[in-house]
Amino acid sequence: MIFGTSRKTLPRLRVWTGLALLLLSLQASRAAEGPQDLAAVLSALRQDNTATADFVERRSLAYLTEPLVVAGRLTYSPGGRLERQVTRPKPETMIIDGPLLTIEQNPKDPPIRVLLEDYPPLQAFVSALRALLAGDRTALETTFESDFESSGTSWRLTLTPKAVALADAIDAIEVAGKAGSLRSLEIAERNGNRTLVEMQPRP
Amino acid sequence: MTRRQLFILAVSYGLLGLASWLLAMTLTLRSDLSFVFPQDADQDVQLLAERLQKGPAAGLLLMAVSGGSLEDRIEIGNALATDLADSGRFDFVANGRPRPQGSNQPALFEKLYLLNPPVTAEDFSPAALRRGLEDSLAALAGAGGAATQDRLPSDPTGRLRRVMDFWSSQAQSQRAPGFWLSGDGESALLMAATAGSAFDLDKQTETLDFIDERFQALRGERPLVLAKTGPAVFAVASSRLIRQEMQKLTTISVFLVIGILILVFRTPSLVAVLLLPLGFGVLAGTAAVQGLFGEIHGITLAFGGTLIGVAVDYPIHLASHSATARSTQSAMQSIWPTLRLGLLTTLLGFLPLTLSSFPGLSQLGVFEIVGLTTAALVTRYLLPGILQPVGGATRADVPDLQVKPWAGRRLLRPIVLALALGALAYLVWQGPKVWETDLRKLSPTPAEARALDRQLRGELGAVDVRYLLVLRRPTMEAVLRDSEGLAESLQPLIDNGRLAGVDMAAHYLPSQAEQAARQAALPTRPVLERALAQASEGLPFRPGTFAPFLEDVTAAKDSPLLTYADFEAAGLAWRLAPLLFRQGDDWVGLLVPRGLTDPAALAAFATESKIDGVGFLDLKTGSEALVADYRNEALEWLALGAVIAMGILWLGLRDSHRVGRIVAPIGLTLVFTVALLSAFGVALSLFHLLSLLLVAGVGLDYALFFEHQGRHREAAAPTLRANLVCAGTTVSVFTVLALSPIPVLHGIGLTVALGAAIAFALAFFFTETARCRDS
């Protein structure tokens, strides 16, 4: 009441980067060869069906001597609905649907609903992710400067936020792949924290 | 009309207009509830009045934005919340979103360790710190981790989170954290609290209009609607509805009255002068109240204007009698003794009311006395000069209503008396059930608006505050300290499940004594450093991570204690103000129970606790008792007025038979009217009571004129015609009012229409049967 929501919840960006990676890899595996430019990547990324992947996320904080590790499963549904189920160390579910972010931490408590836009980095990140999965280059480039480079079978997409609210929170999102699959996705936050997500598509 | 008469008429209306304009410029109109609160009320009644008007819930506005798409609802709901918050018109605006960066609340939270929940030395032991660090580490990996990660070095034990959880768990408004959407997601919800009283209609109207205007501007072309509810919305909507209804009803009434008058007298000039006595009467009454009291209640003006309606009858009598008189002047002279006696009787009936301790009633008394006198004097001295004699009125012009000497006529009197006894017995049997005690029943708020209010209150977890524990102390610190003690002694009730807890100012602002104790319990820097080193052993924190925590705790140990001023500076005074305030020389603290299942137990606690100056207040029965007091006092003064009025009647007539013939129909009218209303299922409120006063007033004039004037053969026809017209206009005007959907207007209309018809019939019946017997 006094401070708005008392349990402020900022879902981590790394999840969504992880999801992007997953979907990139799903698409990439469809193509026999690695895409050699952004247009090719985007067209390969267009997702029309529900897709699921396991993920492992390593989060490095400046004041911690070892990263925090979280693992679970990610699901994307056409229309932009994203679901992240953490299985360890502690189960919890996060759903992004439209402008709302819903967090279910404890089955006994009612889910917490917050607005995506109250967490500008996440909001911008999700809108970029949705643009990627829709293969919508215009939407992507409204939010980010993109830098695509490839060398041999490896490629790397660096997304730098344009919007002030997002640029205040993150430096860049790096999506990396080799040949037809994605290897890693890493978010560098302004405060020096880094999050690395590795994906493994489920059949 | 001669030119001279036209000139006088024009000057009269000019004067009336000018004086009304001047008065309107200087008038202080009050529209709050103080109308029903006695002037010399004790502290509890004053507190009750204040709570009803400015209580924690009185200024609350609940809003819902619905329609359109989810994105639209959220966008416009947010934009509206931002606009309202930025307008500075509200104590607070909330819709479940985190406060924007740069708000000054953190200033308050630098003193985290002085706030609730309590802090002890044990909280800083290595074991407790270890638990805190492990919990924080686990939380970092969870969904909320990113929000708390930056605070961890300065708040490794999650103290801020605990303070905020404590605050929201104590508040009366319980809503799950997160953005406020209705359960079905169809509405984005907002809550705002206005600074002023819900009954300051002008200010509230302006505030509500501002909200609507902002919403319209933000909405643009999108198909969104804004629903608002809360005491202020009800108050403003009611007054708007009443004003609209009054305008409509007044227009219909004016045409009705003019129609009847032209039909009966066929003299347009009568219509022109008819409003002069009433106009000057209302003007003089208003001016007198303003002069004597320095202000006038809106409700006094409304009722005064209704009650003074009897003044419309004066020119009707004059006009009717002018038909058979040589001139209007001589007609005036022939009816003046009757009119004067009726006036004096009415005035004396109102006189005791002026002594009432309720400002509304005493204002009403003054208004009527001055207003009616003025109206009578205008009729007496101004009208004869401008009113032309109306068309002839012989017995042939009016319906022959005389009771023919028929065989059964001797049975009429016993029948009426038997009916009256039956009605009386019915009323005695009904007992207190005839009275309405619930103020809300009188509210013109439509059922849909109430349903919306219930729904939004449910969604937002806003509760209706009914019971309060009240603590009075000479200083703020004493209130805070003793409410902490009081809350502790309530623990047995909480353990028994009678009560979930209480909301009180000391939850947010602990007493200085309590804060000092917490400060003393904080460890010194070296002690904390050692404990922290021990606690973080084996955990993956880099050395030096918690330097900000050490700084904060060390600073808190020497910082000045938190005061009310800190809450003001942080923009959080609204949290404390409804629960902690000055009343006279005292400070008052309110303890608002949550989840109270046994109010009697809490009341018993308040009376049995040996603590001085603790009271239990039930706003509902308190206000019901107040309404009953009000009604009883009004009844007492009116009874006294009736006795005095009968005395003056007897002095004027010197004949107990004649007095009986006048008083009996009035008394019977009141009995029949009340019995009929009650039989129709109408519970009587103060409004009905005041309407009965008008019934008695017109009934008196009917009876007096029938009795007095009817004694002269040549005056009988004009008298009957005048009384018929008076009763006809009154009944038709108030029947129109009775058709109104607004409970108050409906009640007044029904009472007066019914009463005036009965009064006319009985007055006629009593004088005619008396004449039959005499002849």
Among B555, B547, B545, B546, smallest CA distance to B524 is for B555
CA-to-CA separations, A37 to A17, A31, A42, A48, B625, in angstroms, rounded: 20, 13, 9, 21, 82
In the block, tokens 């605070």 appear at B151
- Among A5, A10, A62, select the one facing B178 at the smallest CB separation: A5
Task: With CB atoms and an 8 Å threshold, state whether A8 touches B152.
Answer: no
Tokens of A98: 């439209």
pLDDT interval class at B171 (50, 70, 90): low
Q: Nearest-5° angle of CA B84, CA B88, CA B91?
A: 85
Q: What pLDDT is recorded for position A19?
A: 58
Sequential DSSP letters for B470-532: EEEESSHHHHHHHHHHHHHHTHHHHHTTS-SEEE-HHHHS--HHHHHHHHHHSPPHHHHHHHH
Between residues B510 and A142, the one the model is more confident about: B510
Task: With CB atoms and an 8 Å threshold, state whether A5 touches B179.
Answer: yes
pLDDT at B102 over 80: no
Q: What pLDDT is recorded for position B770?
A: 67
Among A111, A83, A79, smallest CA distance to A95 is for A83
- Chain B residue numbers with beta carbons less than 8 Å from the beta carbon of A6 are 161, 164-165, 167-168, 177
Q: Dihedral, CA atoms, A24, A30, A32, A38, nearest 10 degrees?
A: -40
Question: What homologous superfamily is domain A13-201 in, according to CATH?
Answer: Lipoprotein localisation LolA/LolB/LppX (2.50.20.10)
pLDDT interval class at B535 (50, 70, 90): very high
Task: With CB atoms and an 8 Å threshold, state whether B541 touches A11.
Answer: no
- Chain A residue numbers with beta carbons less than 8 Å from the beta carbon of B97 are 4-5, 114-115, 118
Tokens of B179: 């953005």
Among A29, A59, A57, smallest CA distance to A44 is for A29
Sequential DSSP letters for B316-335: HHHHHHHTTSSSHHHHHHHH
State mean pLDDT over B87-103. 71
Interface of A with B in 130-159 (CB under 8 A): none
Alpha-carbon span B75 to B79, nearest angstrom: 6
Q: Is the peptide bond before A203 cis (omega within 30 degrees of 0)?
A: no
Closest chain B residue to A91, measured at CA: B142
pTM: 0.69
pLDDT at B303 over 80: no
pLDDT interval class at B52 (50, 70, 90): low
**Distance from the A139 Cα atom to the nearest Cα atom in chain B, whole angstroms:** 18
Alpha-carbon span B558 to A174, nearest angstrom: 48
Closest chain A residue to B109, measured at CA: A3
Q: Dihedral, CA atoms, B734, B740, B742, B746, nearest 10 degrees?
A: 30
Highest mean pLDDT among B101-115, B212-226, B709-723 belongs to B212-226
Counted residue by residue, chain B has a size of 775
pLDDT interval class at B600 (50, 70, 90): confident
Q: Nearest-5° angle of CA B571, CA B572, CA B576?
A: 140
| Beta-bridge partners for B468 | B617
Alpha-carbon span B455 to B120, nearest angstrom: 42
pLDDT at B159 over 50: yes
**Distance from the B151 Cα atom to the nearest Cα atom in chain A, whole angstroms:** 12
CA-to-CA separations, B38 to B33, B48, B436, B460, in angstroms, rounded: 11, 12, 19, 35
Sequential DSSP letters for B657-685: HHHHHHHHHHHHHHHHHHHHHHHTTPPB-
- Chain A residue numbers with beta carbons less than 8 Å from the beta carbon of B177 are 5-7, 112
Q: Are B638 and B352 in contact (CB under 8 A)?
A: yes
Among B450, B590, B449, B427, smallest CA distance to B507 is for B590
Q: Compute the Cα dihedral for B157, B161, B163, B166 and give only its sign.
A: negative
Q: Where are the domains of chain B?
A: 1-30+266-392
- Chain B residue numbers with beta carbons less than 8 Å from the beta carbon of A9 are 143-144, 147
Alpha-carbon span B771 to B710, nearest angstrom: 9
pLDDT at A9 over 50: no
pLDDT interval class at B330 (50, 70, 90): confident
Give me chain B's average pLDDT, please.
Answer: 81
Task: With CB atoms and an 8 Å threshold, state whether B145 touches A68.
Answer: yes
CA-to-CA separations, B591 to B440, B490, B547, B568, B594, in angstroms, rounded: 25, 11, 40, 21, 10
Among B378, B285, B250, smallest CA distance to B27 is for B285
Using one digit for the tens of pLDDT, what is the confidence trace for B553-581? Answer: 998 888 899 999 888 877 777 778 778 88
State mean pLDDT over A179-186. 69
Alpha-carbon span A168 to A165, nearest angstrom: 5
- Chain B residue numbers with beta carbons less than 8 Å from the beta carbon of A3 are 98-99, 105, 164
Closest chain A residue to B156, measured at CA: A63
Closest chain A residue to B104, measured at CA: A3
Using alpha carbons only, how large is chain A's radius of gyration in Å? Answer: 16
Q: What pLDDT is recorded for position B38?
A: 59
pLDDT at B707 over 60: yes
pLDDT interval class at B210 (50, 70, 90): very high
Burial class (CB in 10 A: 0-12, 13-18, 19+), B412: middle
Task: With CB atoms and an 8 Å threshold, state whether B161 touches A115.
Answer: no
**A165 Cβ under 8 Å from any chain B Cβ:** no
Tokens of B496: 């028994």
Among B291, B297, B283, smallest CA distance to B35 is for B297
**A63 Cβ under 8 Å from any chain B Cβ:** yes
Sequential DSSP letters for B629-647: HHHHHHHHHHHHHHHHHHH
- Among B71, B142, B542, select the one facing A99 at the smallest CB separation: B71
Helix (H, G, I), strand (E, B) or coil at A176: strand
Residues with Cβ within 8 Å of B158's Cβ and at least 6 positions away in sequence, in order, are B132, B135, B136, B139, B148
State mean pLDDT over B238-248. 76
- Among B96, B142, B145, select the one facing A5 at the smallest CB separation: B96
Q: What pLDDT is recorded for position A35?
A: 52
Task: With CB atoms and an 8 Å threshold, state whether B138 touches A90.
Answer: yes
State mean pLDDT over B175-203. 76
Residues with Cβ within 8 Å of B544's Cβ and at least 6 positions away in sequence, in order, are none
State mean pLDDT over B350-372. 86
Alpha-carbon span B466 to B477, nearest angstrom: 26
pLDDT interval class at A29 (50, 70, 90): very low
Using one digit for the tens of pLDDT, what is the confidence trace for A98-153? Answer: 888 888 887 787 788 888 877 766 776 677 677 777 778 888 888 889 888 887 77
**Distance from the B195 Cα atom to the nearest Cα atom in chain A, whole angstroms:** 17
Q: What pLDDT is recorded for position B224?
A: 92
Q: What pLDDT is recorded for position B32?
A: 60
- Among A6, A13, A62, select the one facing B177 at the smallest CB separation: A6
Interface of B with A (CB under 8 A): 70-71, 74, 78, 94, 96-99, 105, 138, 140-150, 152-153, 161, 164-165, 167-168, 171, 173, 175-179, 181, 540-542, 545, 572, 575
Closest chain A residue to B174, measured at CA: A1
Among B73, B155, B74, B98, smallest CA distance to A10 is for B98
- Chain A residue numbers with beta carbons less than 8 Å from the beta carbon of B78 are 115, 117
pLDDT interval class at B172 (50, 70, 90): low
B174: left (phi over 0), alpha (psi -120 to 50) or beta: beta
- Among A4, A10, A99, select the one facing B99 at the smallest CB separation: A4
Q: Compute the Cα dihedral for B550, B551, B557, B561 and give only its sign.
A: negative
Q: What pLDDT is recorded for position B513?
A: 93
- Among B78, B96, B143, select the one facing A94 at the smallest CB separation: B143
Q: Are B50 and B221 in contact (CB under 8 A)?
A: no
Helix (H, G, I), strand (E, B) or coil at B30: strand
pLDDT interval class at B218 (50, 70, 90): very high
State mean pLDDT over B73-84. 90
% of chain B exceeding 70 in pLDDT: 86
- Chain B residue numbers with beta carbons less than 8 Å from the beta carbon of A100 are 70, 74, 179, 181
Q: What pLDDT is recorded for position A120?
A: 66
Closest chain A residue to B106, measured at CA: A3
Q: What pLDDT is recorded for position A3?
A: 36
Using one digit for the tens of pLDDT, what is the confidence trace for B255-283? Answer: 888 888 888 777 676 777 877 888 899 89
Tokens of B490: 């309530």
pLDDT at A11 over 70: no
**Distance from the B206 Cα atom to the nearest Cα atom in chain A, whole angstroms:** 26
- Among A1, A13, A113, select the one facing B179 at the smallest CB separation: A113
- Among A5, A59, A65, select the one facing B177 at the smallest CB separation: A5
Closest chain A residue to B77, measured at CA: A115
pLDDT interval class at A191 (50, 70, 90): confident
Alpha-carbon span B77 to B696, nearest angstrom: 55
- Chain A residue numbers with beta carbons less than 8 Å from the beta carbon of B96 are 4-5
State mean pLDDT over B336-357. 87
Closest chain A residue to B543, measured at CA: A63
pLDDT at B604 over 70: yes
Using one digit for the tens of pLDDT, what is the confidence trace for B124-148? Answer: 999 999 999 998 888 888 777 767 7
What kind and span of H or E run contains B216?
Answer: helix B201-219
Class of domain B1-30+266-392: mainly alpha
pLDDT at A85 over 60: yes
Tokens of B435: 């009275």
Counted residue by residue, chain A has a size of 203
Q: Are A7 and A177 in contact (CB under 8 A)?
A: no
A73-77, B410-414, B698-702: the lowest-pLDDT one: B410-414
Q: What pLDDT is recorded for position B304?
A: 79
State mean pLDDT over B736-749. 82
SS (H, E, C) B409-459: HHHHHHHHHHHHHHHHHHHHHHHHHHECCCHHHHCCCCHHHHHHHHHHHHH
Q: What pLDDT is recorded for position A8?
A: 38
pLDDT at B104 over 50: no
Interface of A with B in 3-22 (CB under 8 A): 3-13
Closest chain A residue to B74, measured at CA: A99
Note the helical H segments in B150-200.
159-170
A122-136, B221-235, B624-638: the lowest-pLDDT one: A122-136
Alpha-carbon span B162 to B166, nearest angstrom: 6
Among B542, B537, B519, B522, smallest CA distance to B153 is for B542
- Chain B residue numbers with beta carbons less than 8 Å from the beta carbon of A114 are 97, 178-179
Q: What pLDDT is recorded for position B715?
A: 73
Interface A-B, measured as beta-carbon pairs within 8 A, has a size of 118
Closest chain A residue to B147, measured at CA: A10
State mean pLDDT over B38-53. 61
Alpha-carbon span B372 to B352, nearest angstrom: 16
Q: Are B615 and B322 in contact (CB under 8 A)?
A: no
- Chain B residue numbers with beta carbons less than 8 Å from the beta carbon of A4 are 94, 96-99
Highest mean pLDDT among A1-10, A86-95, B49-58 belongs to A86-95
